[in-house]
Amino acid sequence: MAGDGRLGGVFQPHNGQCHLSDQGSYNGKAYDYPSVGHVSRVLQDNNIQLIFAVTEDIYPAYKALSALIPQSVVGVLKNDSSNVVDLISEAYGNLSSTLVLEQEGAPKELDVSYASTCKGNQADIEWKKKGECQNIKHEKITFQVRLNASACLKEPQTFRIKMQGINEEVKITVDTECHCNCGVPEKDSKHCNSSGTLSCGVCSCDEGYLGQRCECVQQSDADSTANMVASCRPDNSLLVCSEHGTCECGKCVCQGQFSGKFCECDDNSCEYRNGFLCNGKGRCKCGKCICSNNYTGSACDCSPRQDKCFNDKWLCSGQGKCNCNRCQCNPGFKGEHCSVLINDCMLLKDCVACHMEVGIPDTNVCAIRCLNATVSRLEGTHELHCTYQDTVSYDVKLGDDGKIVLQYADLPRSVDKTTLIISISVSGIILIGIIIIIIYRCLVELYDIREYQNFVKAQKQTEWKEVQNPLFKGATTTVYNPLHMKHDENEKELSEPII
């Protein structure tokens, strides 16, 4: 934001040039950041329409910023940026559908105002500072510009009128004529139809003539220029000929495409179709299309032809009307040629019920319920598209002649669905229980087998050794007498054990 650079010691205002590096970072260290107004001014000078594609979390901030920058829009960008093309297309469509006309460089002595004619509406007599039309698509727009000088200009002044977002402009040079040199009056001037004197650009008519150029002959004493001009104004209006013509002898002579007693009708303000006024099938008169060649509709877009309504040889399959070369189907039918039944099973359900109650297929009692359908009963039992009370099946079709065909028959006898469902459910529960028990027993058996195998394996791996029990004491004890000695010639010492 502008002013943030001062915190870093940068006091020089931005110079309006781009200071972004190739990586998109700001490298204009000598200049402060530009303000929103400065950015807006540069964008307008270069006719740049700004589109902000931002994520949803920062959308409110950029929405507020967009309100300060003319010809800018904001769109929400998805996280994966998958909608960037659609976002730009939609944003450009919104920008291009709004036209804003404004001036630049107009001197302060000039008051420039605009009157806009949008979508065929007559120009707004309330003149505004800008000319603006919104939601414009393939339509002709008319802007009227009015200049009022509040003072005399010292010299000719030039200013520009341009459209926002478009690189085109109109240069207007204005000068004020504040000192008129009338010169010598010219009698019987051609400018006054040789019936008056031209002085200072104004006709002074001879007796018996009226009008700005003395083009009108005075019929009575009540006739006057003021009365004639008043007859060219609509009631309660100050505009002469609605500002779309000139008043000549009390009658409006309209300009261009305008017509009517007071030039109030714009003969170019009718609806466009396929890029043409009144679809190219009529002419525009006072804002309404007058169609030719049997075309109808507000824009002469309703064709009198019926070729697109025929299906083989039947118009809308006999179940609709052709309007503007398109089928408008009767209730219960749809499709380009009304050949598709909507909810066909419900369409003739009451008809089937009636025939089941009466029991006679060709009775007239059910004619109202059957909607004039051709009803027939099939022999034997059949399973058709629709069913009624689980006893009758029927089928509804559209015949080649456009009439409804109903065929019904008895349904084949079948097992009671409720009993069948209960039996299947109970059997399924029992079967699942048995399977669970078998699986459990198999798992337990497998566990026992593994435990036994581990026990046998441990037994085989054990090595037993024979050792004396340290707690065991024998029944006999041997004691030697150290005092009893016996010497023999071999000096053997014998000791006799004492028991």
Rounded to whole angstroms, the Cα distance separating 498 from 195 reads 190
Q: Are residues 91 and 105 in the same domain?
A: no
At 490, the pLDDT band (50, 70, 90 cuts) reads very low
Q: Are residues 91 and 22 in the same domain?
A: yes
CATH of the domain at 66: 3.40.50.410
At 1, the pLDDT band (50, 70, 90 cuts) reads low
The string of pLDDT tens digits covering residues 283-303 is 888 888 999 888 888 888 888
> By C-alpha distance, which of 334, 357, 340, 333 is closest to 408?
357
CATH of the domain at 291: 2.10.25.10
Residue ranges making up the domain that contains 54: 4-96
CATH of the domain at 108: 2.60.40.1510
pLDDT of residue 365: 65
495, 484 Cβ separation under 8 angstroms: yes
Is 129 within a domain? Answer: yes
Q: Are residues 41 and 80 in the same domain?
A: yes
Question: Domain boundary residue among 174, 191, 209?
Answer: 174
Phi first, then psi, for residue 54 (nearest 5°) are: -125, 165
Q: Are residues 42 and 67 in the same domain?
A: yes
Higher pLDDT, 213 or 173: 173
Is 132 within a domain? Answer: yes
Q: Are residues 374 and 390 in the same domain?
A: yes
At 95, the pLDDT band (50, 70, 90 cuts) reads low
In the three-class reduction of DSSP (H, G, I as helix; E, B as strand; rest coil), residue 29 is classed as coil
Provide the percentage of residues in the chain whose pLDDT is more than 90: 7
Provide the percentage of residues in the chain whose pLDDT is more than 70: 85
Q: Give me the number of domains the chain comprises.
A: 4
Biggest alpha carbon–alpha carbon distance for the chain: 205
Is 427 within a domain? Answer: no
Per-chain mean pLDDT for the chain = 79
Vertex 116, ends 256 and 144: CA angle to 5°? 55
218, 227 Cβ separation under 8 angstroms: no
Q: Are residues 107 and 168 in the same domain?
A: yes
The strand ranges marked E within 92-231 are: 99-104, 110-117, 131-133, 142-149, 157-163, 169-174, 196-199, 202-205, 209-210, 216-217
C-alpha distances out from residue 67 to 34, 73, 74, 171, Å: 17, 8, 10, 29
Is 428 within a domain? Answer: no
Cβ neighbours around 223 below 10 Å, total: 16
The string of pLDDT tens digits covering residues 259-284 is 888 888 888 888 888 878 898 888 88
pLDDT of residue 437: 95
pLDDT > 90? residue 236? no
